[in-house]
Structure 1
Amino acid sequence: MTRSWTVPLLLGLCGAVIATGLFLGRGPGAARPVLLWFLLLAVVYSPLVFPRSVSAREARSRSTADGRPVVFWRPGCKYCLRLRFRLGRDAGRLHWVDIWRDPAGAAAVRAVNGGDETVPTVVLAGRPYVNPDPGWLRDQLSAAVRDGGTAADSGGRP
C-alpha cells in the first residue's frame, strides 16, 4: 500500500522544498504557483483520482454478476491516467483493481502479459486487453447497457 503513495508524497515534498526556497528568496508570489503545481501533480498521481479499488477476487465476482469490465491499474501509470480521464464518468462503471495493493491482481496481470505487470489491463467478458483505446472501451460499455448484459468484442483487439 505504501508504494501507491510514494510518488505523490515525493512530489508534495519536492514542491514544498522548492517553494520554501522560492519563498525565502523571492517571496510568496513566486512560491505559491510552484507549490500549487506540485500539489496538483501529487493529486493526479495519487490513488484518489481513481474510483475505489477492490480486490481481484471481488472484481471478478462482481464482473460475473453485472458484466462490467475489470481494470487492473497502478498509481503513477500514465496510460492508466489516460484511460481514467478519457473515460470520464464512465470510469465509475468499471471495477478497478490496484495491482500494488492486491497481490492477486498483480499475479492476474502477469499471467496474461507474459510475466510483465503491464497496465492498464482490462478484462472484458473473460478476455484480457492490454492498454485498450478508451473510446473502444466506452463503446463496449455502451453496448453492454444497450444489450442488457456483457458486450463481448466482435473478434478484434482494440
Structure 2
Amino acid sequence: MTRAWLLPILLGLCGALLAVGMFVRGDTGPAVVLLVGFLVLAGANSPLLFPRSVGASEAKRRSAEDGRPVVYWRAGCPFCMSLRVRLGRDARRVHWVDIWRDPEGAAEVRAANDGNETVPTVFVAGRPHTNPDVEWVRAQLPPPSSRSRAR
C-alpha cells in the first residue's frame, strides 16, 4: 500500500513546501493556485482515480465467470491513467489489479512482458495485451447486463 501512495504523498508535500515558501514571500494567490495544482496532480496519480483493485487470482476467477478483461496497472503510470480516464464509466466493467499491491499480479505482468513490469497489461481470455488502444479494450467488454443497466 505504501508504494502506491509514495508518488501522491511526495507531490502533495512538494506542493505544500513550495506554497508555504510563496506564502511567506507574500504571494498568496499564486501559492494557493500552486498548492491546488499539486494536490490535483497528487490525486490523479493516486489509487483513488481507479476502481477498487482486487488480487490477481480473484480477478482471474471473476474474469472466467463474467468474461470481463483484467487490467494490471500501477499508480503513477501515465498510460494506465490515460486508459482509465478514456474508458470513463466503462472502467467499472473491467477488473483492476494494482501490481504494487499484489505480487502475484506483478509476476503475471513480468511473465507477459519479458520480465518487465510494463503496464497497463490487459488480459482478455487469458491472453496478455500490453498498452492496448482504449477502443480495442472497450470492444472486448461483454455487453452490459440488465442488472447493471438498472443501477
TM-score by length of 2: 0.93
- C-alpha displacement at 1:13, in angstroms? 0.1
Q: Does 1:63 align with 2:63?
A: yes
The whole-number CA distance in structure 2 between the counterparts of 1:65 and 1:139 is 18
Structure 2: segments with no counterpart, 5+ residues: 145-151
Deviations 1:36-58 (A, max 9, x none): 00000000000000000000000
Instruction: Confirm or deny: 8 A CA contact 2:122 2:129 kept in the other structure.
Output: yes
Residues of 2 paired with 1:96 and 1:11: CA distance? 24
Gaps of 5+ in 1: 147-158
Q: Provide the secondary structure at the position in 2 that maps to 1:72.
A: strand
Identity across aligned pairs (percent)?
62
Instruction: State the Cα RMSD in Å.
Output: 0.9
Task: Report deviation, 1:26.
Answer: 2.3
State the AA in 2 paired with 1:82: S
Map of 2:30 onto structure 1:
30
Higher mean alpha-carbon deviation, 131-140 vs 68-77, is at 131-140
Question: Aligned partners of 1:120 and 1:133: how far apart in 2?
Answer: 10
**Residue of structure 1 equivalent to 2:115:** 115
In 2, Cα distance between equivalents of 1:58 and 1:6:
25
Runs of 4+ in 1 over 6 A off after TM superposition: none
Structure 1: distance between partners of 2:140 and 2:21: 50
> Partner letter of residue 111 of structure 2?
A
